[in-house]
Amino acid sequence: MTATITKQIKKDFENNLSGVNINRDVLTTIDNYCKEPAKDILALSGLRRTGKTVLMMRQALSLIDAGKKVTYLLAARDSRQAELFALVNEAMENGCEFLFIDEITFIEGFADWADWVYNNTILKGCHCVIAGTDSYGLELAARDTLFDRIRRIRTTYMSYDEFARVRGGDIISYVQKGGIFRDVDIKRYINTSVVDNIADSIDRYENANRRGLDVLSSDEIRTAVIKIISRISFELTIGLLRRQYKYSDLSLSVKNLSGSVTDFVLENEQDIIDRVESEFGLNEDLSRFKDKELENILRLLTADLVELDVIAQYKHTDLRLRNPQNESYLLTQPAGRFQLTELYLQAISHLGGETAQLLCEAVSADIEGQLIEAVVLNETEQKLKNIAGLQSKRKYDVFKFNADGTEFDMVVYDKDIGDLFLYEIKRKDAEEAAQRKNFFDESLSTILNYIKKTYHSPPLKVPQKYILYRGDAQLVNGISYVNVEKYLHNLENHGL
């Protein structure tokens, strides 16, 4: 049998790491794992082109330079289980202390036999670090054969602070390119990194079907996943259009369109959705499922996408709706949000008529500002979630807030000590009076009444008011202007 799993040596690491001088934050976690007694497998999971192989090679090279016995195996798509087992046994017989297995999920049935790797490495005192393009397969293994015997590091999410150090660039660069290490075609990237990942794993592993997804064919799974991602992106895009129309003074081209119409309405939304989804090559329309059945399927797959860090969840409170408290979603990688939003704008401009075309032109100029809001909301939620985990007595709610005539881009409320933080988030680098309109009178009363009603007590302190923008720090009429990049660099110390 021809060998398909290659042993990587120091020269391979040095060649692959040439020009890579900055390490991602999670490398510290990998290094700490290697310093502890071997108790569980460490798995790097994440979408393609998020740095998994670079992280593993960097750690392996560091261990070799420290005089440790390291074996690094790189699997291929046609690699076989027997070949891997033989190489692992050989490494252990030669006194291997640290075993790295890259692209382990290429090997058929990984999630079914992953416990063999644990039994023949960790139980023999050898640290084992694995990674694979099939992050869904790793997730299935963690639920079943490696339950309570695996520690995972997710590489898909990269904060702005880390992006600025690793790749360099300002907040606009992060909005356009963040989360993906190379320029990609977003349609192909989503198909290969997300859709095929989940669909292939559900086909390959029986335990993937325990939660009601076995009713779907492979093409139907692909269609359902694309519909979830598409729906999230479409809602973001429509939100941008409606907001731009409402605040028409932001663009002269739209200002002339405003008249008796109170809100922007797109009459052929389904045509636009169909146009974009067709570009992903959908093969099924899912029409054989009743509405409730389809919603349950989408709910299950949405939970998987959250678990895989493909999408992130946040709270959106909108008092204009019958059910005001909603869970909303956005793509974890800023580059994905940006490119899919542009894809929808192109479709809307093409199919939506003259009004939509003018609005899309206006939104295109302002899209970065709206996506900066998504970055701040997501990163604040992520950071405060981590703080809550470390300090269990402090609990925060982070949400976007809308009511008639009132909007706050982000609200942070400390439920234990009653601190309330109100934020407006702007792309501009200059201070303007219009930016502060929501912090006074009726708008302020609306949010204070909501807090009192929801949490059964008013804020215990005067609300702290912030405007995050791209200019310098200053205080205007009791409102703190804070540079948005400095805020994201220094989340832990921003009074939260």
The reported pLDDT for the residue numbered 495 is 46
The reported pLDDT for the residue numbered 347 is 77
* 311-339-386 Cα angle (round to 5): 30
What is the distance of C-alpha 467 from the center of its chain?
A: 24
Residue 422 exposed, middle or buried by CB count within 10 Å (0-12, 13-18, 19+): buried
Query: What 3-state class would DSSP assign to 336?
Result: helix
Convert the pLDDT of each residue in 320-356 to its tens digit: 777 777 788 888 888 888 888 888 777 777 766 666 6
- All domains of the chain in start order, with CATH: 6-155 (3.40.50.300), 171-312+330-367 (no CATH), 393-493 (3.40.1350)
The reported pLDDT for the residue numbered 254 is 40
Of the pLDDT bands very low, low, confident and very high (cuts 50, 70, 90), residue 255 is very low
With pLDDT > 90 as the criterion, what percentage of the chain qualifies? 32
Query: How confident is the model over 174-201, as a mean pLDDT?
Result: 80
DSSP 369-436: HHHHHHHHHHHHHHHHHHHHHHSTT--EEEEEEEETTEEEEEEEEETTT--EEEEEE-S-SS--GGGG
87: left (phi over 0), alpha (psi -120 to 50) or beta: alpha
The reported pLDDT for the residue numbered 244 is 56
The reported pLDDT for the residue numbered 283 is 64
The C-alpha atoms of residue 304 and residue 119 are separated, in whole angstroms, by 28
